[in-house]
Amino acid sequence: MRRSRLRGVQLSLALLLLGTLPAAPVQAQNDEARAFGGDQWFIGGYYRQTWIPGFVLAPFFERAPVISNPGGGVTISHRSRSGVSAELGFGYVPYRFSGAFTADGNLVEDTEYVRSKLAFLHLTGSLLWPIELHRMLDLEIGLGVDLGALVGAVRRTEAYPDSNGKFRACDRALQPATTGPDNDETGAAIPYCNQALDSHGNPIASNAASTFGAHYNATERHIPPIMLIPMLPHIALRFAPHERVAFKLEAAFGLAQFWLGFSVHVGLGLSRPAATNTVDALPVPMAAPIATGRVLGKLMEKSTDRPIAQASVKSERSFSAIETDARGLFVFDKLEPGPVHFEITQPDYEAGSCDTSIPSGGGDVFLHCFLASRPRQGAISGQVKDEQSKPVAGARVEITGPANTLVVTEAEGLFALPDAPEGAYRVRVEAAGFFIQLIEIEVRSQETSLPQVILIKKSGNELVTRKANQIAIKQEIAFETNSAEISSSSHELLHEIADLLLRSPDIELVEIQGHTDDHGDRARNQQLSEERAAAVRAWLITGGVDAARLQARGYGQERPLRPNDTAADRAKNRRVQFVVMKQATAASGP
């Protein structure tokens, strides 16, 4: 008899995890309401998208789908004078999904297709404490608990893989008659849609979902009807443009799921005034409200009055710092009368401070603050190595850019420019027995650039020489057949050509000429010669040669060196030449 290991206990445990629902939204502390001295009530509605990722079910199933469902609800919340919000609500979350589940056994016997039409109807309660970020913006952090009923049904059916490997529900026993990689005691292949048998081995329509055997549209019996689920934490970002209207972006984490959502809350206009003390039934006069003021500040650079953005401004009277905007502006409000001190920091400026005072009658105070600019510079700290990563001592390192320097590497191949104004730099490295290497680096303010320069050793066999109006090469540049891709066997030759150009600054312009033999189509030969000349130019530019000193031109088969009569002559005609088009002339004396 087939004995399935996908038991009701496993599925029930998974359903318990699915039921880990978030606490309902809560109304955060509202500063405007507290200013009136009383409690307030709010009514709200919310939308949530809940995810049960596959890794949550991984400890229980080898195969399980990712489950995602929307949900919603309504809430009524009470916010006390102390700022603590309490909320009660009613919510609905459907758990509708279908997919293949595989228990911890073999693929054939332990895979079933599960269809869920569950829903969680629940009461929810929450407590939330706010952290003020701005006059209209709070960060809320709290905890909650859900109590409700899980209703609906889950049905289980044997599953088989289709031609694409996706598992689908079997129609009935042996329909389809697909077999898997597992065999029974007799060595026969076991069908995915196996026959359900009773305890005597007789065929039946389906086993009960709570027993071993094949299942066909069987109802799962191990579903907990009532669930009590704690949740921690519940996080919300609350925006309140008005004292009786609030919008929230929310996220929460349960035992086995998470959700994202939003909610809207509207004040009911029901508030309880703050309590007053009485003596012999006579009212005691309440203290007059304290006038408050605002500081409207602008942060600028000393000597230039240029506004400073993204600076952190902090006052001992405020829980959190405020960042200046693109115009250098910042605002602190609800400040009681008296002196106010600000500490200001910004990475590109020296730290500073600013002071003012709120008058006894409150009101707005305008304040200008200034910071001194730090030198906008960083540093360069590099190393020169050979192709075996060994340090190269005695290398001549020339650094040019916003600052220039010339240094010689020490035993460890190190070089440095400690105080380098920010900007683009070029590093040129020369060492005996190596090709010149040129790299470009960027230095940022308050950062250290760490270039690693790798030098390539010369072979000692000189292949490139300079003549009056050309750069002569003793070996042809090799390309892949009918292609502009340069063969790796020619890289050393190109390094030597680049090295000669870097050591010859008087050569102002070189034409890189591509030539072919007359074999093949004339138009294709022209195109190929142009592409090969351009490929050589691109290689030399990456090797550090200024692009303005190089131009590429293809001549196709129009300029042969020899008649294209033999294979040897055609090989001579397939070539790249370097013609000096312009070079500096020495200045004549008086």
The helix/strand count (H/E) of the chain reads as 6, 37
Segments of the chain assigned to CATH 2.60.40.1120:
293-371
What residues contact residue 475 under an 8 Å CB cut-off, 6+ apart?
A: 463, 490, 493
Q: How far apart are CA 42 and CA 392, in angstroms?
A: 74
Q: How far apart are CA 425 and CA 176, in angstroms?
A: 71
> Residue 435 corresponds to which tokens in the numbers above?
């090709």
CB–CB of 65/38 below 8 Å? no
CA angle 323, 325, 326 (to 5 degrees): 140
What residues contact residue 411 under an 8 Å CB cut-off, 6+ apart?
A: 391, 393
User: Alpha-carbon Rg of the chain, whole angstroms?
Assistant: 40
Q: How far apart are CA 99 and CA 157, in angstroms?
A: 10
Q: How far apart are CA 114 and CA 112, in angstroms?
A: 6
Q: Does the structural domain 293-371 have CATH classification 2.60.40.1120?
A: yes
Q: Give residue 488's Cα distance to chain centre.
A: 37
Q: How far apart are CA 274 and CA 280, in angstroms?
A: 19
Looking up tokens 């790249």 gives: 576
CATH code for 377-455?
A: 2.60.40.10
How is residue 175 annotated by DSSP? B
* Among 292, 344, 342, 339, residue whose Cα is nearest residue 316: 342
Q: How far apart are CA 55 and CA 57, in angstroms?
A: 5
Q: Which fold has domain 8-270?
A: Porin (2.40.160)
The angle that helices 491-502 and 522-542 make with each other, rounded to 10 degrees, is 60
Q: Give residue 382's Cα distance to chain centre.
A: 30
pTM above 0.85, yes or no: no
CA quadruple 50, 53, 56, 59: dihedral sign: positive
Q: What residues form DSSP beta bridges with 425?
A: 441
Preceding amide of 233 cis, omega within 30: yes
CATH code for 464-583?
A: 3.30.1330.60
DSSP 357-410: EE-TT-EEEEEEEEEPBPP-EEEEEEEEEETTS-B-TT-EEEEESSS-EEEE--
Structure confidence at residue 286 (pLDDT): 58
Segments of the chain assigned to CATH 2.40.160.20:
8-270
> Residue 530 corresponds to which tokens in the numbers above?
């142009």
CA quadruple 329, 330, 336, 342: dihedral sign: negative
Looking up tokens 């397939």 gives: 574
What residues contact residue 194 under an 8 Å CB cut-off, 6+ apart?
A: 2, 109, 158, 173, 174, 214
Segments of the chain assigned to CATH 2.60.40.10:
377-455
What residues contact residue 178 under an 8 Å CB cut-off, 6+ apart?
A: 160, 161, 191, 192, 193
Looking up tokens 């229980």 gives: 60
Q: How far apart are CA 120 and CA 8, in angstroms?
A: 19
Q: Could you tell me how many residues make up the chain?
A: 590
DSSP, collapsed to helix, strand or coil, labels residue 228 as strand
Query: In 111-210, which ranges are continuous DSSP H helix?
Result: none
- Alpha carbon of 377 to those of 196, 403, 444: distances in Å? 78, 10, 7
* Among 65, 44, 52, 66, residue whose Cα is nearest residue 120: 52
The pLDDT profile of the chain, 590 residues, written as one tens digit per residue, is 344 445 444 444 444 444 433 333 333 333 433 433 346 788 999 998 888 877 777 777 878 888 888 999 999 988 776 567 888 899 998 988 888 888 766 777 788 899 899 998 988 888 888 887 877 788 889 988 888 998 988 988 988 988 888 889 998 888 888 888 777 777 788 888 988 888 777 888 888 876 778 888 888 877 888 888 778 888 888 888 877 888 999 988 776 777 889 899 888 866 555 444 433 444 545 555 678 899 999 999 998 899 999 999 999 888 789 999 999 999 999 899 999 999 999 988 999 999 999 999 889 999 999 999 888 889 999 999 999 999 999 999 999 999 999 999 999 999 999 989 999 999 999 999 999 999 999 999 888 999 999 999 998 788 999 988 999 999 999 999 889 999 999 999 999 999 999 999 999 999 999 999 998 899 999 999 999 999 999 999 999 999 999 999 999 999 998 998 899 999 899 999 999 999 987 544 44
Q: Give residue 574's Cα distance to chain centre.
A: 50
> Residue 102 corresponds to which tokens in the numbers above?
């595989």
Segments of the chain assigned to CATH 3.30.1330.60:
464-583
